[in-house]
Structures are given as C-alpha cells and as structure tokens.
Structure 1
Amino acid sequence: MTDLTGRRMLVVGGSTGIGRGVADAWAAAGADVVVCSRREPARAAPLRWERLDLGGPDAADRLAALGAGPLDAVCFAAVRYGAGRAPFGAVPEDEWLGQLDVNVTGLWRTLAATLPALRAARPGLFVGVSSEVAFNPGPGRSGYAATKAAARALLDAVAQEEDPADVRIVQILPAGMVDTPGIRRRRPPGFDYGSYMRPSAFAPLAVRLATTAGHHGDSLVVDGDGTWWPVRDRAPASQSGPVR
C-alpha cells in the first residue's frame, strides 16, 4: 500500500534537504503536505507552505496552530548546523544558542504541538531526522553534536512513553553526506558532490513508514540507493574530519 490520499502531513524544515525529500515523497503518494520553513520551497506544487521561524518569538504559537486539527504524520527536519566546523573556543555563544533553539527546543515545541493530533489519528507517525553526529561526536562540531545527541535522546525518551498503537516515533539519518543547499554554502567552489547522497534517497522509507506499521523507537540509517538498516544492527560511519 502506497496511497496516502486523504492524509494530512506536516514537514517542519522541509523547504530543502532531507525534509524536502520526505515532503515530496508523501505528496507524490497523494497526501496533503504542509511544509513549514523560513523560506518558501522552490517549485513547491503540490506542497503547501506555511512560514515558520523556529528561532522567532511566535514559533510556539505558529506550531500550535499548525498542529491543530487532523494530522496523520509529522517530520521534523529543521536543523541549524552553525557557520562551519571550528574548535569549541572559536564558536560564539549566539551560535550555540541558535543551535539549541532549532535543533532541541524546536523539536520539543513540535512534539508538544502535534502529539495530541497524532494520537487521535491512531496511529500517527512522528519522524525525526537525526544525524550520525549524534552517535559519533567529532572535533569541530561540538554544538551540532551536542544538540543532535539531545534531540536523539528526547525522541528516544518520548518513544518509550508512547503506545505505538497511538503514535509511532521513528528517527532517520543519512549514511553519508547529503547534497543540499546548506551543505553547498559550506563547500568551496568547484567541489565534487558526486559521492554525496540525494534527498530523494529518503522517499522509499518515508512512504513505507507512512503506510506500514513497525519501527517504533528505531533509528534507521538510509543509504544512497534508498535502502536502510537499524542503528542497532550497524552503527553509522563517522563523517568527522580534521578542523582546518
């Protein structure tokens, strides 16, 4: 079964990257998909867009409004990486606070706003986009590693509280680097992205999670060919490198 017609989905941070890959997959399967992001997605049809700044003063109210009413699935894909890899002492406090606002508090607010509607769907689905850095903290990305590890722990804890008959909590993460606009802004001109994953690699898993039971509490690693495996079977490879 791959037909999501009549279902309402919400993707927080879905204008580009993995979130956009999930949003496009759900929409292609017939779902009514609302993307929430600071910037409007390019070539968005048939997606609907609602402006949302997770670091803004009205973030909680906007999420409460978006989470009201029927809701079958939510994907939290918003992320703040930081300016670039740098040693801890070179990272300004406002960058750390911004990462907390989006990567942790934004996730907490999204859960608080949407879990009641997801439970009412019986079962609803909450998908959190994780990262290998939550398992492999490395040099030069202390804030990103700490906030993604906190996000992973938050979703793991909520998964232990929730009855999967009411709502399933699943985390997904890429096996390698993903070619996204955010990554491209951090790479030098002429960089070769040939080995990088594409957001569309997440489409098969996104549809499967929305149309079948199972995987509650799992963290699933997605490879470039669209296959996936649980972290408990094989840990994701570290993408850490030296800080230059």
Structure 2
Amino acid sequence: MTLPQQSPAARRALVVGGSTGIGRGVAAAWARAGLDVLVLSRNKPAGEGADLLRWFPLDLTDAEAARATLADAAAGPLHAVCYSAVSYGTRRAPFGEVEEAEWRRQVDVNLHGLWLTLAATLPVLRGEPAGLFLGISSEVVYNAGPGRSGYAATKAAGSALLDSVAQEEGPDGVRVVQALPAGMVDTPGIRRRRPTDFDYDSYMRPEHFGALAHALVTTDAAGHHGDSLVVDEGGQWRSVRDTRPVSQSRGVPA
C-alpha cells in the first residue's frame, strides 16, 4: 500500500492517532486552516469533515511496520505534527490485576510510538521556518492516581521525553508544545469504559482543542515552546506553570 497523494500547494501536517478523540479535533482544525492533513491511525476517520483528511493505517504495536509508515509520511516538507495516539487500558484496575500484554501495549502506543514519530519527523520539522510538534498529554502526568499505573507511567514518560526534546531544540528549533484537557473528554475510547447509560454532559469534546490547534499553526508557536497547556471546556488554555490540572482519579472498585 502507498500513502494517499498530497495536495502539492498546501502546507503539510501529520496527525498520529487522529481518527477520533482529541487528535481528530486537532486534525479538523488544521484542515480548516488550510493544511494538507494526513492521519495515521488504526481506523479511518469518519463523519463530518472526514473528507478533508487523508488517511493511512498505522498499528503502533507493530514497530517495524510503524517505522516504515512514519518514514514515508515524513518524506518531504512538514509544517506540523501532532501525536495523539493513546492506549488507556481496558479498565482502571490495581497494578496486580493488569496483564503484562496490556502494559506492553501502553508502552508501545503511549511511549515508543511517540519516540518513533519524533525520530521520523524532527529532522523534517527543522526546516525553514521551524515546524511544530504538538503532543497530547494528560493530567495523569501531574497527578498519577490509583488504578491507572501503566497509563500514568507511560504518559509521564512521554511528557518527559517531549520536555527533553524541547530543551534540545531551543528557541530556534522545532516548536515543541504539549496540550491536555482540563477534564474528561467524550471520546470512543472513554465510552468503551463507561456504562451504556452514562451521562456525558459534563465532559469536554474533541472540538474544544480546535482553537488552540488553529492558533499554533497560524500564529507564532514559539511563545508556547516547551510549555504544557491545559485546555478547558470553553476552548481557552492556560499553562500548567500557572495552575496544575485537576486530578481525574477516583477509587478503584473492589
């Protein structure tokens, strides 16, 4: 299989994990801003706006195939990259009840997939002008919490990886920014873990990330380089340096 042909005139963007959830919100915002957006994910984007996105399948648990796909996706100029792929795990559970296979999947998706994406795209993003790398983080990076040890560990490691890369790039290199939701987000992955009658009225939606995503590719992202930005339900954002995100932890069912 070969990647779908890109538009020759548009600035190019890549979203890893952009078929649903926050990644889809970012991809849609970038497409509306005029970027030629390629989504790499297990499933093809569907619904409103899917026709604006190019797509190619990617399974981050197959590292060799993922490395090849990412190399193809990074061929040629890139203006912006978002890494939003995530493995939450099947449910919140104490450490002793989590199978090793689930832990390995979280490492593959939440951490090693990020490493592979950085390795493939950073050299291209260092063009003139320097591009943007947007990583989707989580409040669990700052709060940990019971019943999600694998998710917390891999997301915290991924955040530290991006913090280190941001310091290496410096003010004249790739703009590295992290973003995370102020609360829970209504996504298919979350819905698989909730009862069928669950009320999502208080949950954020992926489109709440659209304003930030648009701003980062239409204005100078250098002002946010190295920062982690908490996005709220109004689409506004603030730095974690000013206010730490609220924990979404809760007790683990007995």
TM range (shorter): over 0.9
> 1:6 Cα deviation (Å)?
2.3
| Deviates further, 38-47 or 225-234 | 38-47
Alignment RMSD (CA, Å): 0.9
Partner of 2:218: 211
- Between the aligned residues of both structures, percent identity stands at 67
> What are structure 2's unaligned runs of at least 5 residues?
1-8
1:154 aligns with 161
Distance 2:154 2:128 in 1: 30
1:30 aligns to what? 34
Residue 60 of structure 1 pairs with residue 64 of structure 2:
no
Contact 1:34–1:50 (CA<8 Å) still a contact in 2? yes
Who is 2:21 aligned against? 17
Give the counterpart letter for 2:29 in structure 1: A
Q: Secondary structure at the match of 1:120?
A: coil
Q: What is the match of residue 243 of structure 2?
A: 234
Correspondence 1:127 to 2:131: no
State whether residues 73 and 126 of structure 1, in contact with CA within 8 Å, keep that contact through their aligned partners in structure 2: yes
Structure 1 segments, 4+ long, off by >6 Å, are none
SS of alignment partner, residue 224 of structure 2: coil
Mapping for residues 94-243 of structure 1, pairs under 5 Å: 94-213=101-220, 214-243=223-252
Give the corresponding residue for 1:83. Answer: 90
- Cα shift readout 1:54-82 (whole Å, capped 9, x = no counterpart): 11141111111111111000000000010
Normalising by structure 2, we get a TM-score of 0.93
For 2:234 and 2:11, how far apart are their aligned partners in 1? 27
Q: Which runs of 5+ in 1 are unaligned?
A: none
**Cα distance, 1:120 vs structure 2:** 1.1
1:109 match: secondary structure:
helix
1:29 Cα deviation from its structure 2 partner: 1.2
Amino acid at match of 1:195: S
The amino acid of 2:156's aligned partner reads A
* CA distance in 2 between partners of 1:50 and 1:70 (Å): 18
In structure 2, what is the Cα distance between the partners aligned to 1:124 and 1:29? 15
Which amino acid letter does the alignment assign opposite residue 250 of structure 2?
A: G
Counterpart contact for 2:58–2:69, Cα < 8 Å: yes
Q: 1:149-197 CA deviation, whole Å, 9 max, x = no partner?
A: 0000000000000033231000000000000011001000110000000
